[in-house]
C-alpha cells in the first residue's frame, strides 16, 4: 500500500527543544539517583535500628518476560533486616508530574495480553493513539487503512506527531479500548506494571516514597511522603478512565497516560504514564482512604511499620 505523504514538519526550534529535553533528562536522572542515596543514608544514619538497612537492589536489572533482555527493576532501594529483604521502595525526588513508567509498545501489549487478550479494535486504538503499529505500517499507511483523511487532522498535534487524538479515533476503536482498560483484570495488570513491577521478572516495589518540596525544598531527604502501593492500586481500581481536554491524554484519577512525545525513533512513540504527589493529595479518592506517612526517612518508615 502506498504511504500517504504526511511531510516532515520538524523545525530547528523543535530539534533544539529535543536536545534541551535530553540534557534535562540526564540531569534529572542524576539528581534522582543522588536523592535515593540520601534517603538511604537518612534511614541508615538516623534510624540506627539494629540489623535494619536501606540498600541498593542486588541487581539493578532483571530479565523482562516479554523480551528476555535485562530491564530496570521498580525497586530503587530495598529495606533489609538481618540481611533479608523486607520490602522494596520506589523513590521520586519531585512532587511534580513524574514518569511512573515508560514502556515500549510491544511490552505494553505483552503485559496486557497476559492478563486479558486485547480485542482487535482496542489494540488498533492503542496503535493509532500512540503512533505505533505491530504490523510495521507507517502512520500514513495506518490512516489509509482506516480511511482517515489527513486534511481532517490537526497539523501540529496529529500530523507532525504521527498519532491520533482521542476524538479522531474511529468510535468503535475508542469505545473498545475504554471498555478493555476498565476490565478489572486488564486494569489491575496495567497498574501493577506501572507502580510495582514494571516489566522486570523481579525487584518489585511495595511502597512509594516522594520528596515533598513544599516543606523544605527539592531533594530534601528529611521531607518525605510514603504510601503503600497495594493500597493505592486498590483505590485506583474504583476510578474511571477519562479523556483530558487536550484529547492526547487519558486519566485514571491522578494517573495520566499519553504518548511520550520526546526522544528519537520508536522511543518517541512509547506509552508514558505520569503522576504527581500534588495530584495524589488533591484527588478526592485519597482523602480518608490512603494513609500518607510524612517526615524524615527514619520517621516515615517507622510510622508505616515497615521496620
Global pTM reads 0.90
Q: Is residue 291 part of a domain?
A: yes
Q: Is residue 83 part of a domain?
A: yes
Assess whether pLDDT exceeds 50 at residue 10: no
Count of structural domains, the chain? 1
Assess whether pLDDT exceeds 50 at residue 9: no
Segment 260-279 mean pLDDT: 93
What pLDDT, on a 0 to 100 scale, did the predictor assign at position 20? 52
**Of residues 32 and 61, which shows the higher confidence score?**
61
Q: Is residue 2 part of a domain?
A: no
Calpha distance 124→268 (Å, rounded): 18
Encode pLDDT of 83-140 as tens digits: 999 999 999 998 889 999 999 999 999 999 999 999 999 999 999 999 999 999 999 9
Q: Is residue 29 part of a domain?
A: yes
Q: Is residue 155 part of a domain?
A: no
Encode pLDDT of 190-203 as tens digits: 999 999 999 999 99
Encode pLDDT of 221-269 as tens digits: 889 999 999 999 999 999 999 999 999 999 999 999 999 999 888 899 9
Q: Is residue 25 part of a domain?
A: yes
Segment 27-38 mean pLDDT: 85
Assess whether pLDDT exceeds 60 at residue 208: yes
State the pLDDT confidence band at 51, using cuts at 50, 70 and 90.
confident
Q: Which domain holds residue 222?
A: 12-116+183-303
Q: Is residue 109 part of a domain?
A: yes
Amino acid at each position: 500500500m502506498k504511504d500517504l505523504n504526511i511531510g516532515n514538519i520538524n523545525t530547528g526550534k523543535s530539534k533544539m527543544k529535543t536536545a534541551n529535553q535530553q540534557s534535562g533528562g540526564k540531569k534529572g536522572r542524576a539528581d534522582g539517583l543522588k536523592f535515593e542515596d540520601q534517603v538511604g543514608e537518612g534511614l541508615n544514619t538516623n534510624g540506627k535500628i539494629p540489623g535494619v538497612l536501606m540498600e541498593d537492589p542486588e541487581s539493578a536489572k532483571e530479565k523482562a518476560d516479554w523480551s528476555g533482555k535485562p530491564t530496570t527493576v521498580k525497586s530503587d532501594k530495598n529495606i533489609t533486616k538481618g540481611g533479608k529483604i523486607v520490602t522494596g521502595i520506589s523513590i521520586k525526588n519531585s512532587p511534580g508530574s513524574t514518569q511512573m513508567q515508560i514502556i515500549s509498545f510491544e511490552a505494553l501489549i505483552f503485559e496486557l495480553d497476559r492478563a486479558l487478550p486485547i480485542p482487535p479494535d482496542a489494540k488498533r486504538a492503542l496503535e493509532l493513539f500512540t503512533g505505533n503499529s505491530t504490523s510495521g505500517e507507517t502512520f500514513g499507511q495506518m490512516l489509509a487503512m482506516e480511511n482517515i483523511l489527513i486534511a481532517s487532522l490537526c497539523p501540529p498535534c496529529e500530523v507532525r506527531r504521527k498519532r491520533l487524538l482521542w476524538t479522531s479515533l474511529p468510535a468503535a476503536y475508542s469505545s473498545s479500548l475504554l471498555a478493555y482498560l476498565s476490565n478489572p483484570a486488564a486494569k489491575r495488570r496495567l497498574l501493577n506494571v506501572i507502580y510495582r513491577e514494571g516489566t522486570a521478572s523481579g525487584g518489585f516495589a511495595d511502597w512509594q516514597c516522594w520528596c515533598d518540596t513544599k516543606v523544605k525544598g527539592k531533594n530534601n531527604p528529611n521531607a518525605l511522603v510514603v504510601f503503600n502501593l497495594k493500597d493505592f492500586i486498590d483505590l485506583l481500581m474504583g476510578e474511571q478512565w477519562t479523556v483530558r481536554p487536550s484529547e492526547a491524554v487519558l486519566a485514571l484519577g491522578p494517573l495520566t497516560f499519553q504518548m511520550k512525545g520526546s526522544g528519537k525513533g520508536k522511543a518517541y512513540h512509547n506509552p508514558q504514564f505520569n503522576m504527581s504527589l500534588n495530584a495524589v493529595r488533591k484527588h478526592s479518592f485519597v482523602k480518608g482512604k490512603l494513609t500518607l506517612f510524612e517526615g524524615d526517612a527514619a520517621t516515615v518508615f517507622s510510622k508505616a511499620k515497615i521496620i
